[in-house]
Amino acid sequence: MTTMTAATPATDVATIPALGHAEAMVVAAAEFDAVLHLLRSLAPDEWGRQTVCELWDVRAMAGHMLGMAEAQASIRQFVHDARSAARRQGGAFVDEMTATQVRERVRLTTNQLIERFAAVAPRAVRARRRVPAPMRSAVRLKQDPPFDTERWSYGFLVDTIFTRDPWIHRADICRATGREMALTPGHDGRIVEGVVAEWALRHGRPFALTLTGPAGGSWCSGVGGEEIELDAVEFCWILAGRAPGTGLVATRVPF
């Protein structure tokens, strides 16, 4: 983190538009497309590269992403994964659920994994799009640490977390394989500014933030706060808990 030097005028963080359900589904579909493009580009030796998630290589991480998409597409699959996680008492619920997803897809070849992901992605978006508004707002779900004091609406999962999750894992795979992450202002920038808006609400302090790269921008709130400049993906990487942050950048945001 460095003192801000960019001359781009900062936008008041309060003016970042909320992500509505219809737009969220467009972003979700685009993110699944980006994941599929990345998986199809991987060379055979890259699937075994270790990721920042210590229990997962690239192959295991892709197995989780496939499992999560299949759970989004099918209530039966979601219930199966959840019951499997509940039967295991070794760790946090989400960790047990993702472990189930990886374990049950470990015998797939990488080609099978890719083609199953290609087939399920549109169905996952379609199922998420059809979740009725009362369910999105009324259903509240308890979370694991570090967010265990919170209950998130199902709509927050459907519209935001189910897209942030593959996005940050796409960053994980790119870092594990030494690739540049494909980024666009319209897609990745929309995800990043949503992270910025939530981060600002969570810490509630004044700041001036510049995020560099295609997904970046400049935002501010109040006066006299921290001046921060980081690469946009690095900012999200830290907020997701993949690296330590200092000052306001130590504020965690869920992915």
For residue 247, give the amino acid letter.
G
Nearest residue to 110 (alpha-carbon basis) of 172, 53, 36, 180: 36
The reported pTM is 0.92
Rounded distance between C-alpha atoms, residue 37 and residue 90, angstroms:
35
Tens digit of each residue's pLDDT (9 = 90 or more) over 5-43: 445 689 999 999 999 999 999 999 999 999 999 999 999
Tell me the three state secondary structure of residue 113: helix
- Torsion sign across C-alpha atoms 205, 210, 211, 216: positive
DSSP 8-state secondary structure symbol assigned to residue 248: G
Q: Phi first, then psi: what are they for 104, rounded to 5°?
A: -80, -5
Kindly calculate the radius of gyration of the chain based on its CA atoms and give it in whole angstroms.
Answer: 18
Tens digit of each residue's pLDDT (9 = 90 or more) over 91-142: 688 888 999 999 999 999 999 999 999 999 999 999 999 999 999 999 999 8
Structural domain boundaries of the chain? Answer: 11-16+186-250, 21-177
Pick the CATH number of 21-177 from 1.20.1730.10, 1.10.540.10, 1.20.120.450, 1.10.3720.10: 1.20.120.450
